[in-house]
A and B are shown apart, each in its own frame.
Chain A
Amino acid sequence: NAGVTQTPKFQVLKTGQSMTLQCAQDMNHEYMSWYRQDPGMGLRLIHYSVGAGITDQGEVPNGYNVSRSTTEDFPLRLLSAAPSQTSVYFCATRAGTGYNEQFFGPGTRLTVL
């Protein structure tokens, strides 16, 4: 039982490049979310999903796309990377309505040059 896994662990991109951050969970949780963590700002919600086929925007969605074709996977796509997207990205899951606890993946550290 791996919980929440994220790949890659580290990534360096050049401005304008695109990439996909992967998130997978084996807990059969309905809810999945992406956060970014920046110094002094805590974690901010990028996008979230309440189930397969359903996604919505969070606090800082610009420059990112998501889709949820299966319960297990919730990839985050950067369409054209910018230095402002340099951050640590965390994926999180929650069982569903009525459950409060979120489970976090280990994170992906992204640097955009």
Chain B
Amino acid sequence: GDSVTQMEGPVTLSEEAFLTINCTYTATGYPSLFWYVQYPGEGLQLLLKATKADDKGSNKGFEATYRKETTSFHLEKGSVQVSDSAVYFCALSAGSARQLTFGSGTQLTVLP
């Protein structure tokens, strides 16, 4: 079945540091790929998405590129802020019902 493997955390960075959170996937067909963010005490919010190979999703300074050859969708940000502290989930959507399959989540803490 479909699966998402995500870099384990927690990840602690200083403000303005470079962020990479690795994500690889296994899926049949051509999935859509997503990064969701969960701030403390809240539900998940869509951060960015990509629907086909070589697409780059971007939002709020975060970027991720759909790499079909390496089955990856790594999240990057050039300069993190304290307000980026949250849990980040990589996910894919595939199959006729297009339901989401999630990775285990990565807790990011950014220190001032």
Contacts and interface: CB of A to CB of B under 8 A. Distances in A.
Interface residues of A, number: 26
B17 interface: no
A47 B45 CA distance: 20
A106 to B, nearest CB: 5
Interface size grouping (class) on chain B: 20 to 34
Contacts of B34: 100
A94 B93 CA distance: 12
A43 B100 contact: yes
B57 to A, nearest CB: 11
A-side interface mostly: strand
A107 B43 CA distance: 6
B102 A90 contact: no
A100 B51 contact: yes
A83 interface: no
Contacts of B105: 40, 42
Interface in B50-72: 51
A35 B22 CA distance: 23
Given A42-B89, A42-B103, A42-B104, A100 B42 contact: no
Interface in A30-66: 31, 33, 35, 40-45, 48, 50, 56, 58
22 contacts: A4-B43, A31-B98, A33-B99, A35-B100, A42-B89, A42-B104, A42-B105, A43-B89, A43-B100, A44-B102, A45-B100, A56-B97, A58-B99, A90-B43, A94-B98, A100-B34, A102-B46, A102-B100, A104-B45, A105-B43, A106-B42, A107-B42
Interface of A: 4, 31, 33, 35, 40-45, 48, 50, 56, 58, 90, 92, 94, 97, 100-107
